[in-house]
Structure 1
């Protein structure tokens, strides 16, 4: 049975342990049975508003035996992160409970500073004022680290959806142009803090009801992830990090025979935040040599390539990228191929962006211009014999070149 396969059980709260004011079926006997088996239990919630003691009181009201140390809120995980980073002055957008927990756990740390603070923490509270959001923006612009307790943009209410932390975070992010350090699920930070003090070889499983927070977050950490749901969820790609390793209708299934858990094997690419269109140019000179650019950001040789900007056709994007990177004017002859292999086309940038590109590769010919490297984007550029390409090339570009050469040979035969 599943319960015997793991040493540590991380549980989401709302939707997994309780739903609103009601404890979900089979939760109490399942937790009691896990404890009798000697299993370690942690409860992880992205709600930054309540203190850990308030969560414990709520769980004990359901007749659940829970210790404060077993509860990890995104607010408490933020407190631990601040302790680890050694910040001494903060500006907080958050609930009175989070503020009180910070004051108790961070003696000597200034939390109400509005000038020259080291970090700005964006959480959530119904009484947050626009003036405070503006202060947060201005402090981040002056150099303060931008920390978000979590990124959930909204949560359901009986009357409809309500704003959550992520909405405030996005407002500050848009205003500052800065990415926050996100603490809550699916960020690995909250999982690392929840795993503090556990044996390094502990077999950990995450059980929750959200593919985008619980399942994705666990898989980013390399943990097995189980979804609690009456209906299975499926994603188009077998590589999708949000696909659970098992789906169970209730926690009672942890102790029943016949429920299988797949082994999570993390793909070799990082999980992308979004998919974007890209273009690449395969440019030959009169001697059949191919144009390559050595990129400044990663030091690798590759075909001239880049983004498609708003309002551009892909052919306009190809011509612009080649001109910007090499100074050459090209004619776009024809499409060679469309490529989207995540193993080679998911890129992680110093800014923190992780993007999966769908790249349209075009065969181009030279129409004018003067060859020169763009100092902002490239170290060098030049023409190479297809049989003598540099060793340090972007991994996917040689195969795109092969497709173009095959296409050219077919054209010559015709």
Structure 2
């Protein structure tokens, strides 16, 4: 039984899972197409608040993944819903035009200056954000108004590598004001909960590349999760962290693979005892099968290879020095 046989909706993260900046991840088009063919609902769930659902759907379609705006859930939408539940009036925007649009959609009045009668600040990623934008937000926040952040991802995966994400800009205001925002996107629950509701799902699976947002967000929303190693998380980071996904794979091609094979836990081909790793299979050693076994051990362990196959697999995972 594959993941597609077990879940009625797949919640795909985008950055680092489906694409990196302007480049599609090779496995993604076929994986999404297979999900559609299986009759499983697709939701594209992104912490990136710089693009609206229409723009996200167009971007996906241009990359070879046909998508509709109503299949997209963004942290900007989740942030607007959080604001609508807590305030009425004028909200200072630090972020993109799409975030401003979502704020209007819930009946609030966006502004870009703290001189207006501001009742809240909402902050999301915009590549055009500068000092003046942060200064206006700082003035408003120092009066004690509500602060909602679309997400706190410190970096954004792109075709050029890791670049500053929304969390880096949030950190600037946190430092300047000493305050903490309410977070709408992953790892907080609102975005995931809204995506499940929009999918009308009873048993959804969250898929992403970040432990601190995608996987923690799934846990907060009570969902099973698949961690893919196509984005920011390394094997060493996974094994050092307290967070563990339900499943683990190289990339989203895994959605068609047997569910039991993908689960984090003991693996028939590998023995991990007291930090010693042995390959006990007959075929070519699979590093990701080993990683599923290692992820079932306590965080922060050290591992030593007992044979050449184990040594090769550990090196492939970037664990050649034996450190988790």
- 8 Å CA contact 1:89, 1:113 repeated in 2: no
Q: CA deviation at 1:62?
A: 2.5
Give CA deviations for 1:217-263 in whole Å, capped at 9, x if unaligned: 111222111111277564357xx22x222111233322233624359
Which residue is 1:45 aligned to? 46
Inter-CA distance 254–174: structure 2 relative to 1 (3 Å threshold): same
Q: CA deviation at 1:163?
A: 2.9
Q: CA deviation at 1:181?
A: 0.4
Q: Secondary structure at the match of 2:261?
A: coil
Inter-CA distance 187–16: structure 2 relative to 1 (3 Å threshold): same
TM-score (norm 2): 0.71
- 8 Å CA contact 2:207, 2:226 repeated in 1: yes
Inter-CA distance 86–247: structure 2 relative to 1 (3 Å threshold): same
Q: CA deviation at 1:113?
A: 5.4
Inter-CA distance 228–148: structure 2 relative to 1 (3 Å threshold): same
The range that moved more, 85-94 or 190-199, is 190-199
Which residue is 2:97 aligned to? 96
Rounded Cα–Cα distance in structure 2 between residues aligned with 1:83 and 1:37: 36
Inter-CA distance 73–168: structure 2 relative to 1 (3 Å threshold): same
Inter-CA distance 28–136: structure 2 relative to 1 (3 Å threshold): same
- 8 Å CA contact 2:50, 2:95 repeated in 1: yes
Rounded Cα–Cα distance in structure 1 between residues aligned with 2:57 and 2:145: 33
Give CA deviations for 1:68-111 in whole Å, capped at 9, x if unaligned: 121112222222322333432101111233224433x1446243
- 1:221 and 2:242 are equivalent in the alignment: no
Q: CA deviation at 1:53?
A: 0.9
Which residue is 1:14 aligned to? 15
Rounded Cα–Cα distance in structure 2 between residues aligned with 1:211 and 1:188: 14
Rounded Cα–Cα distance in structure 2 between residues aligned with 1:155 and 1:236: 21
Rounded Cα–Cα distance in structure 2 between residues aligned with 1:182 and 1:108: 18
Inter-CA distance 23–156: structure 2 relative to 1 (3 Å threshold): closer
Inter-CA distance 61–160: structure 2 relative to 1 (3 Å threshold): closer
Considering fraction of residues, name the structure with more strand: 1
* Aligned counterparts, 1:16-165, within 5 A: 16-103=17-104, 105-107=105-107, 109-112=109-112, 114=114, 115-156=116-157, 161-165=162-166
Q: Secondary structure at the match of 1:142?
A: coil
Inter-CA distance 188–224: structure 2 relative to 1 (3 Å threshold): same
Q: Secondary structure at the match of 1:81?
A: helix
* Aligned counterparts, 1:142-291, within 5 A: 142-156=143-157, 161-199=162-200, 202-229=202-229, 232=235, 234-236=238-240, 240-241=242-243, 243-257=244-258, 259-261=261-263
Q: CA deviation at 1:161?
A: 4.9
Which residue is 2:297 aligned to? none
Rounded Cα–Cα distance in structure 2 between residues aligned with 1:160 and 1:11: 21
Q: CA deviation at 1:197?
A: 4.2
Rounded Cα–Cα distance in structure 2 between residues aligned with 1:158 and 1:56: 19
Q: Secondary structure at the match of 1:216?
A: helix
Inter-CA distance 194–116: structure 2 relative to 1 (3 Å threshold): same
Q: Which runs of 5+ in 1 are unaligned?
A: 264-414
Inter-CA distance 251–172: structure 2 relative to 1 (3 Å threshold): closer
Rounded Cα–Cα distance in structure 1 between residues aligned with 2:210 and 2:70: 23
Inter-CA distance 229–163: structure 2 relative to 1 (3 Å threshold): closer
- 8 Å CA contact 1:17, 1:24 repeated in 2: yes
Q: Secondary structure at the match of 2:45?
A: strand
- Higher alpha-carbon Rg: 1
Q: Secondary structure at the match of 1:9?
A: strand
Q: Secondary structure at the match of 2:44?
A: strand
**Larger RCO (CA within 8 A; separation ≥ 6):** 2
Which residue is 1:389 aligned to? none
